[in-house]
């Protein structure tokens, strides 16, 4: 028998997916979204000339769980109508004036020879796995102090700021997220052999696709499919796809609003009050996908204040009058510390269903909030030319700069401890609350978020079949 009211805080991709599932357990499901539209960072934007861009690199992939994937992408036999199957996701990176288009791993052989020779001796001498919790100690114990100082540290400062003390960054949430704890350092034969040893497997990358695919087969790693929308649509199509399903299942939406007050009694949430429309809604189950600290404050629960610093994202979109010089990669990283851009989306290489003489790309930067006006469209376009992605004679057909504040937390120990503390405090405060999404502090990648929600709800409420 279905319960009555479920309220979901947050209309991002996690909230929309969860709402579709929760309609199987509740008569009424409400999504409360502070913005005018759902989707969070996965919304696409359209420029006046019709060019569509995403707010950064977003490439959805399957979870290998049919019930989840059918919601995310539709029935498998119909997906070819709406989705480009990208096959193997192709990335690459630019470092010290050179491209590596094999993978996103840093090639330390691009360092000056004297630094490389010193660094490789240190790397080969480190034969034990590191358990260090801070990123500097971890990298020094894994790659060695020379590669840490001359290769990884400048990139970490590019991402998190020169004023950040790197030893205060948590290993699992900082440079390891970008794949920077594993490098290309030798040749393909030696690297493949060394990777048979656990310590070297953790810090060395394969040098070619053949060796990597062979390893996947050996480890019996199932292959997920990577999709990108067809028909010149951005990742916002994914949001629209989920939004339609939620509406078809009767989900009710309050946009441009927020949960101002959480009423509770005997460790149960009883109702919520909205801040803008002032409506009060009875609540049998609260599904929270926003930062837990907001729920604690709305419930009148005292929260320990912490000094958390966020980076702002400046996102630059360009449509140009000719093809890109890189026609294979889906997205690439710029790890060269003299440039401000760090990730670049190459739409033309994902939208092979579109035949066009023009091309689109998006480059992302991170900075302090008071620095956002210092980075210009002209400067970032010149970077794209300088690193060899765009021909210098290309003309810009359309362009736009987006600024998104409070989007990228600096993963210090204080931040990670605060996230964990707020999660434990909120989950222990009420019996009828579920905390999900990235803000729960357990999962970062979308696939893990979706699977976490799916299995948690099955465990909580049982199967509906």
DSSP string, 155-186: HHHHHH-TTS-GGGBBGGGTGGGGTTTSEE-S
**Mean pLDDT per 10-residue segment, the chain (465 residues):** 86 97 97 95 93 93 97 96 94 96 94 98 97 95 97 95 92 77 95 96 94 92 94 94 98 98 97 97 97 95 85 97 96 96 96 87 96 98 98 97 92 91 94 89 85 95 71
- Tell me: do 119 and 176 sit in the same domain: yes
Kind and range of the H or E run holding 98: strand 98-100
Reduce the DSSP state of residue 362 to 3 states and report it.
Answer: strand
Is the CA virtual torsion 10, 17, 442, 184 positive or negative? negative
Confirm if 20 and 249 have CB atoms less than 8 A apart. Answer: yes
Question: What CATH number did the domain enclosing 287 receive?
Answer: 3.50.50.60
Range of the structural domain that residue 384 is part of: 310-409
- Backbone φ, ψ for residue 110 (5° rounding): -80, -5
Number of H helices, E strands in the chain: 14, 21
- Tell me: do 322 and 208 sit in the same domain: no
In a domain, 49, yes or no: no
In a domain, 88, yes or no: no
pLDDT at residue number 174: 64
In a domain, 225, yes or no: no
Q: Which residues contact 352 (CB under 8 A, 6 or more apart)?
A: 84
Sheet holding 343-346, edge to edge: 98-100, 93-95, 331-334, 343-346, 359-367, 310-320, 396-409
pLDDT at residue number 191: 97
* Domain final position from 155, 183, 218: 218
- Tell me: do 383 and 424 sit in the same domain: no
In a domain, 256, yes or no: yes
Q: How far apart are CA 53 and CA 45, in angstroms?
A: 5
In a domain, 196, yes or no: yes
Q: What is the DSSP string of 4-67?
A: EEEEEE--SHHHHHHHHHHTTTEEEEEEEESSSSS-GGG-EEE-TTS-EEESS----B--S-HH
- Tell me: do 102 and 34 sit in the same domain: no
pLDDT at residue number 464: 59
> Nearest CA to 15 among 326, 239, 268?
239
Q: Which residues contact 95 (CB under 8 A, 6 or more apart)?
A: 106, 107, 110, 151, 335, 336
pLDDT at residue number 444: 77
Strand partners, 93: 100, 333
Confirm if 284 and 26 have CB atoms less than 8 A apart. Answer: yes
pLDDT at residue number 352: 83
In a domain, 227, yes or no: no
Confirm if 181 and 138 have CB atoms less than 8 A apart. Answer: yes
Q: How far apart are CA 110 and CA 119, in angstroms?
A: 12
Confirm if 52 and 317 have CB atoms less than 8 A apart. Answer: no
pLDDT at residue number 355: 79
- Tell me: do 325 and 438 sit in the same domain: no
Question: How many domains does the chain divide into?
Answer: 3
- Tell me: do 245 and 356 sit in the same domain: no
In a domain, 55, yes or no: no
- Tell me: do 402 and 423 sit in the same domain: no
- Tell me: do 374 and 404 sit in the same domain: yes
In a domain, 52, yes or no: no
**Residue 393 in tokens:** 């004679």
pLDDT at residue number 463: 72
Q: How far apart are CA 407 and CA 159, in angstroms?
A: 13
- Tell me: do 335 and 377 sit in the same domain: yes
Distance between start and end Cα atoms, the chain: 13
């Amino acid at each position: 028998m279905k319960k009555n009211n479920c309220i979901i805080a947050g209309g991002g991709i996690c909230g929309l997916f969860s709402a579709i599932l929760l309609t199987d357990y509740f008569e009424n499901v409400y999504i409360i979204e502070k913005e005018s539209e759902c989707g969070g960072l996965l919304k696409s934007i359209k420029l006046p000339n019709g060019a569509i861009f995403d707010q950064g690199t977003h490439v959805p992939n399957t979870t290998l769980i049919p019930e989840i994937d059918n919601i995310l992408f539709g029935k498998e036999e119909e997906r070819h109508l709406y989705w480009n199957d990208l096959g193997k996701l192709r990335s690459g990176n630019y470092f010290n004036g050179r491209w590596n288009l094999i993978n996103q791993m840093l090639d330390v052989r691009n360092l000056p020879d004297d630094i490389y020779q010193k660094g490789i001796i240190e790397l080969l001498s480190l034969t034990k796995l590191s358990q260090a919790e801070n990123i500097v100690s971890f990298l020094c114990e894994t790659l060695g102090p020379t590669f840490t100082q001359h290769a990884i540290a400048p990139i970490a400062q590019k991402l998190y700021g020169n004023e950040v003390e790197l030893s205060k960054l948590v290993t699992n949430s900082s440079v390891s997220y970008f794949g920077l704890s594993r490098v290309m350092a030798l040749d393909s034969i030696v690297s493949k052999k060394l990777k048979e040893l656990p310590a070297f497997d953790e810090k060395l990358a394969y040098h070619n696709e053949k060796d990597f695919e062979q390893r996947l087969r050996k480890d019996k790693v199932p292959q997920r499919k990577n999709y990108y929308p067809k028909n010149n649509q951005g990742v916002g199509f994914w949001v629209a796809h989920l939004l339609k399903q939620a509406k078809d299942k009767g989900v009710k939406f309050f946009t441009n609003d927020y949960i101002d007050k959480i009423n509770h009694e005997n460790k149960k949430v009883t109702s919520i009050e909205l801040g803008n429309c002032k409506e009060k809604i009875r609540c049998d189950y609260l599904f929270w996908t926003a930062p837990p600290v907001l729920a604690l404050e709305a419930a009148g629960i005292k929260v320990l204040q912490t000094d958390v610093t966020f980076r702002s994202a400046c996102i630059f979109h360009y449509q140009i009058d000719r093809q890109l010089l890189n026609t294979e990669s889906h997205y690439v990283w710029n790890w060269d510390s003299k440039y401000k851009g760090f990730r670049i989306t190459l739409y033309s290489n994902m939208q092979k269903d579109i035949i066009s003489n023009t091309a689109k790309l998006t480059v992302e930067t991170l900075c302090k909030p008071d620095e956002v006006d210092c980075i210009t469209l002209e400067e970032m376009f010149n970077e794209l030319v300088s690193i060899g992605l765009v021909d210098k004679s290309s003309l810009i057909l359309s362009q736009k700069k987006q600024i998104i504040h409070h989007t990228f937390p600096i993963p210090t120990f204080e931040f990670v401890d605060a996230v964990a503390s707020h999660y434990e405090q909120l989950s222990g405060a009420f019996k009828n609350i579920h905390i999900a999404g990235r803000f729960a502090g357990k999962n970062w990648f979308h696939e893990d978020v979706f699977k976490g929600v799916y299995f948690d709800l099955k465990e909580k409420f049982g199967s509906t079949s």
